[in-house]
Amino acid sequence: MSKSTNQQTSKSSPPTLSVRNLVIEYQAKRGAVRAGRDISFNLQRGEAVALIGESGSGKTTAGLGIVRLLPENAQIKQGQIIYRRLENGRVTETDVRALNDRQLRQFRWKECAMVFQAALNAFNPVLRISAQFGDTARAHNYLRGRKLKERALHLFDLVRLDPERVWRSYPHELSGGMRQRVLIALGLLLEPQLLILDEPTTALDILTQRNIIDMLKDLRKTLDFSLIFISHDLSLAVELADRVATMYAGRIVELCDVYTTFKNPAHPYTIGLINAVPTLTAHKDRVTSIPGSPPDLIDLPPGCKFHPRCPLADERCRTEEPGMENPTPNHQAACWKWQSARESLAGGWEL
Amino acid sequence: MSNKGKSFWTETIKTFKLIARNKVGLLGLILVTALVLLSFVGPLLVPPETQAHTDRINKPPSAEHVLGTDFQGRDNLIMVIHGGRDVLLVAFTAGILTTLISVAVGSVSAFFGGRMDSMLMTVTDIWLAIPRFLLLVVLATLIELENIWMLAIFLAIFGWPALARQIRSQVLSLKKREYVEAAQLLDLGAAHIILKEMLPNMMNYIMIALITSMTTAIYSQTGLVFLGVVPFGNNWGVMFSLAYAKNAIYNPNAAASLLAPMGAIILFQLSLVMFSRSLEEIFNPRLRTGV
Amino acid sequence: MTVPLIQMENVSRRFQVKRDQYITAVNDVSLTVDEGEILCLVGESGCGKTTAGKMIAGLLATSEGRVFYKGQDIAQLKGQAFKDYRLAVQMVHQDPYASLNPSHTIYETISFPLKRHNLAQGDEAIQQRARKLLTMVDITPPDDFLNKFPHQLSGGQRQRVSVARMLTVNPSFIVADEAVSMVDVSIRISLLNTLLELKQKMGLAVVFITHDLALAKYFAWDGAIAVMYLGKIVEMGPARRVVDDPQHPYTQVLLSAVPDADLDATLQREPIQLRSMDVPSLLRLPTGCSFHPRCPYFEGEQCEKVIPQLTRLKSGVSVACHLVLREHEADLA
């Protein structure tokens, strides 16, 4: 049970997670699916980064890749995943890709926990919640018996669940929102320094979503962990993220703090995405779709993968894939036209 | 524009290629074809054994008689070649009839629901509760089953209830699909919905039903012959039955007379089941288009 | 005064869960939709919006109350009159993967209703019509798609084909049940815009069912929103007004709780606390006003005992809340 009074992300200490040039491929009958192409980002201590993208963006693949939970037909072809644990002033580095099976099991859950959508099948339906916690704790040689129950009940309290009642329940006796919270508590059980949430609020009711979001905000103040959450829902980024990584066709196309993402985005895709989502206060004329659809990850176009849908695309965009440009030191955008993008698209998607 | 434009042959070749994707299924198809050819074309090429040869009773397999001879000195291989026709015809006919009846009953029952469903399912359940094989035996002794067609119809009458229930549950689950609901909204009619919307998505299931009913038919048939209730023919079942009756199990030399027909029956069943592995390739549109 | 296209009059729908247990999915709902009008049914899961939509489309019978199509009770329609109704009211489903038959090509899917109802004679005419319909839903060039199977199309494209299929029978009323929820975020609006254009061109009326309030406001910009809670309509009125100035406590709570992709608005927002976090079960509805156990403005006896009726205010909004109606006593229409 650790607590950090320091809410600011400490830039002075080394990042908790460094992902460099990650390339992940799936083998499908038709060919190789390039779900992750050169993904790079850092996650500072205590920071929350949102991986925002649509279908085929590679966001879930990236999350699974970090904990090496990729399915059998997928492989990390290239890249580096370095995890740094800070304990008592000392930093221990782990090369996640180099871990063997036993070390990997230790890494997963104790250092880095991944929480999926709370479908009923995320649980063993014939075991009580207490038993499932027991199983996880036992598998990692963690607390037992009374001590385990104490810790679990404490976590249930933090995630706003009725502790005793949930401890004794079977999964089907709990609502979707409650199950999601149990999964988050389970994720936090072994005090990981990195938590990855995959679509934590999808398929949940509005009021339940609100509860979970508020609970996550409180958790971040009380406990000390870094957070990556994966979603297609921009509003989640508004609520929870410090920084936002926008993903498209297997790559991060823009990475900057949340304020810049919404107020001053540089990449046309980000601009288009934000304009495509209606808000409660927006005027209907200000909302426009992005024409076309995401590319086929097996058969990607040359150059910038967004160019078929981008009104600013020129010859260079069509032939040369952009590297990461830096509008500011803490703002990255993979676009040749970032300087003029925002202005050119201010009047709408049609130029 | 629509698939009607494609020629019959291109579709057939394409289907064959799809079957070939699954090695087990391909082997199954080859075996089935081989047995069919053996049983239907073979007899045209090889004259039957019509007499007894007392000089070579119960000879074990040798170069001259590859599968040995039976209790009447007849060559087992020739007997096997001639013995398949009846068995296969009954299997195919009974299988197809059973499948037709069970699909009809199952889908109508599930689609219309309500009283029709209750009524049909009650009939099915009653039928299922009756010990069918015993009834089949009793009836067969009372009614003379003169030919294979009657036998096939009989087997179908007794075989459809089991499959009907399975088909019904498939249709019930398909009924909830949104494209079926859309078809209802578009008033496309019950016949269209059952035949064109649901059935194509159940083909896998139906083919399994067909194969199951074929193997069941063979079992029933062999059993009836073994009990001596079916008095005709000289097929694999009869071969087995006679060999057994003539105490072939006590005579090591006569082992082939038991094993040859048994082997043929088992091989046929096995090849059908193996073939069913390829069904997924043919009927799943995703796999068909090579995605 | 023209007769409304669709009218629900005190409609309720119960489902049997166990031998003695029923849930009331829709509870005494009345609403009307005129020709060419848009109505959004919004609410959380279990509020009854999908069930209401299915009853409008005639896929579910009512347990109580009646649904009228052009003034006639749909439960009494027979023969040609029923057929007319059946074709006039169509539905677009949520799941693009399930709404098209995976064994049929796009051409087959569209040609079936055309052939069945003799809407085009001969292969040539059918092909022409199919091409035209696909173009109307922005599937271009249509010839590229006619021979494809659903799994070869993207989710958004499948939804468009669903819409095209529905258009074959020239409907006048569409029920869109979460029609864009399973489609990529960046193309939702384009799909909705296509629907809006079709509505314009063909004079369609649309009931759009969704849990997404921002989407509802966009789609029903010139139309109406009805907010449902536990089977009842708690607030109904012009879309923009309901979202910008909610009257019913539930609507207010919902709007303050829903995550919104607007950075400034989110930072300035004031959360409203509910009385209780327990979500009531449909098996045992609360007495009186269904929202009272959680309502932040709960007053006492009246809220617990008396069911508030949906009453129209002068501003054009109808609300079912004792508190609001008392405050606006002078404003009753």
The reply to whether residue C103 touches residue B200, judged by beta carbons under 8 angstroms, is yes
The verdict on B185 touching A (C-beta cutoff 8 Å) is: no
List of residues 6+ apart from C11 with CB closer than 8 A: C26, C28, C29, C30, C52, C55, C62, C64, C65, C66, C67
Separation in Å, CA A306 to CA A231, A247, A269, A311:
20, 11, 7, 10
CA–CA min distance A297, chain B (Å): 13
As a whole number, mean pLDDT of residues B258-282 equals 85
CA distance A94 to chain B (A): 39
What integer pLDDT is reported at residue B203 of this predicted model? 86
For tokens 């979503």, name the residue.
A209
A137 close to A217: Cβ distance less than 8 angstroms: no
d(CA B11, nearest CA chain C) in Å: 15
pLDDT at residue C18 tops 80:
yes
Q: Residue range B261-289: average pLDDT? A: 82
Is A106:A33 a contact under the CB 8 Å cutoff? no
A249 Rama class: left (phi>0) / alpha (psi -120 to 50) / beta: left
What is the per-residue pLDDT for A351? 56
| Residue A86 parent element (H or E) | strand A74-87
How far apart are alpha carbons B263 and B80 in whole angstroms?
Answer: 10
> Which tokens hold the place of B110?
């599930």
Three-state SS sequence of C259-328: CCCCHHHHHHCCCCCCCCCCCCCCCCCCCCCCCCCCCCCCCCHHHHHCCCCCEEECCCCEECCHHHHHHC
Contact B2 C59 (CB under 8 A): no
What residue segments make up the domains of chain C, in order of their start? 6-244, 261-333
Using the CB atoms, write b or e for A172-207: b if 16+ within 10 Å.
eebebbbbbbbbbbbbbbbebbbbbbbbbbeebbbb
Find all residues with CB under 8 Å of A200, minimum gap 6, and list them.
A115, A117, A180, A184, A212, A216, A229, A231, A236
CB contact set of C13 (below 8 Å; sequence gap of 6+): C24, C25, C26, C48, C51, C52, C55, C60, C62, C63, C64
Residue C1 reports pLDDT greater than 50: yes
Does the beta carbon of C108 lie under 8 angstroms from any beta carbon of chain B?
Answer: yes
Q: What is the Cα Rg of chain A in Å?
A: 21
Residue whose C-alpha is closest to residue A33's, from A61, A53, A54: A61
Q: pLDDT value at position C317?
A: 92
Of residues A10 and B134, more confidently modeled: B134
What pLDDT does A10 receive?
Answer: 47
| B291–A contact, CB cutoff 8 A | yes
Residue C187 exposure: Cα atoms within 13 Å on the Cβ side:
20
**pTM of the full predicted structure?**
0.85
Supply the pLDDT for residue C195.
92
Please report the pLDDT score of residue A4 as a whole number.
36
Contact A238 C266 (CB under 8 A): yes
How confident is the model over B102-125, as pLDDT tens digits?
999 999 999 988 898 999 999 889
Closest CA to B143 of B269, B231, B67: B231
Cα C157 from chain centroid (whole Å): 21
CB-CB contact of C22 with C231 (8 Å): no
Phi/psi of residue C277, nearest 5 degrees:
-90, -5
Alpha-carbon torsion B106, B107, B110, B114, what sign? Answer: negative
Contacts of A296 in chain B (CB under 8 A): none
DSSP state of A286: G
Distance (Å, whole) CA C323 – CA C333: 17
Q: Which of A156, A157, A206, A259 to mutate to test the interface with C (most CBs of C within 10 A)?
A: A206
CB pairs under 8 A between B and C: 83
Strands of the sheet with A90-95, listed across from one edge: A31-43, A17-28, A74-87, A90-95
Q: Of B58, B63, B80, B55, nearest to B243 (Cα)?
A: B58
The answer to whether B289 faces chain A, any CB pair under 8 Å, is no
Side by side, the strands of the sheet bearing C64-69 are: C22-33, C6-16, C64-69, C72-73
Compare CB distances from C154 to A282, A289, A293 and report the shortest one's residue.
A293
Domain ranges of chain B: 31-50+58-288
Q: What is the CA radius of gyration of chain B?
A: 22
Q: What are phi and psi of C149, to 5 degrees?
A: -95, 155
Decide: A197 and A229 in contact? Cβ < 8 Å. yes
Of residues B36 and B54, the one with the higher pLDDT is B36
At A136 the pLDDT is 87
Kindly state whether C168 is in contact with chain B, defined as any CB-CB distance less than 8 angstroms: yes
Integer Cα distance of B187 and A20 in angstroms:
57
Write the CB contacts of A296 (distance below 8 Å, at least 6 apart in sequence): A56
**pLDDT for res A3:** 33
CATH topology of domain C6-244: Rossmann fold (3.40.50)
Of B3, B187, B197, which is closest to C101 when you measure between CB atoms?
B197
Q: For the segment A50-74, what is each residue's pLDDT rounded down to a tens digit?
A: 999 998 898 999 999 998 888 888 9
Q: How far is B285 from chain C (nearest CA, A)?
A: 6
Please list the alpha-helical segments (H only) found in chain A: 59-66, 101-106, 129-139, 145-158, 163-168, 176-188, 206-222, 234-240, 258-263, 268-276, 315-319, 338-344
Give the type of residue at A64: L
- Percentage, residues of chain A above pLDDT 90: 34
Compute φ and ψ for A24, nearest 5 degrees.
-125, 130
Q: Kindly calculate the radius of gyration of chain C based on its CA atoms and give it in whole angstroms.
A: 21
Mean pLDDT of chain A: 87
Rounded CA separation B287/A13 (Å): 52
Measured between CB atoms, does C57 come within 8 Å of chain B?
yes
pLDDT of residue A90: 84
- CA-CA distances (angstroms) from residue B233 to B76, B220, C218? 16, 16, 78
CA dihedral A172, A176, A181, A187 (to 10 degrees): 70
Q: What is the CATH number of domain B31-50+58-288?
A: 1.10.3720.10
The pLDDT, as a whole number, for residue A40 is 92
- Residue scoring higher pLDDT (A244 or C277): A244
Are C161 and C148 in contact by the 8 Å Cβ rule? The answer is no
pLDDT score at C127: 92
Angle at B29 between CA B26 and CA B33, to 5 degrees: 145
CA A336 to mean position of chain CA atoms: 26
Residues across chain A? 351
What is the predicted pLDDT for the residue at A12?
65
Phi first, then psi: give them for residue A10, nearest 5 degrees. Answer: -85, 110
Domains annotated for chain A, with CATH where assigned, are: 17-247 (3.40.50.300), 264-344 (no CATH)
CA C202 to chain centre: 19
Whole-number pLDDT of residue C331 = 67
Long-range pairs, B265-268, Cβ under 8 A, ≥24? B265/B87, B265/B218, B265/B222, B265/B236, B265/B237, B265/B240, B267/B31, B267/B35, B268/B32, B268/B35, B268/B84, B268/B87, B268/B88, B268/B91, B268/B218
Q: Which residues of chain A are under the pLDDT cut of 50?
A: 1-10
Residues C21-36 as b or e (16 or more Cβ within 10 Å = b): eebbbbbbbebebeeb
Residue type, C118: N
- Which positions in chain B touch C59 (Cβ < 8 Å)? 181, 184-185
- Tell me the HSE value of C308 on the side-chain side, using a 13 A CA sphere: 28
For the stretch B10-21, pLDDT in tens is 777 877 877 787
Mean pLDDT is lowest, of A271-275, B248-252, C225-229, C232-236, for: B248-252
- Interface of chain A toward chain C, CB-CB under 8 angstroms: 54-55, 160, 175, 201, 205-211, 213-214, 232-239, 258-259, 262-263, 272-274, 276-282, 284, 287-291, 293-294
So what's the pLDDT on residue B53? 78
Look up residue C125 and give its two tokens. 């005419």
Q: Is the peptide bond before C141 cis (omega within 30 degrees of 0)?
A: yes
H helices present in B72-229, as ranges: 76-112, 114-129, 132-142, 148-175, 178-185, 190-192, 203-226
**pLDDT at residue A118, as a whole number:** 66
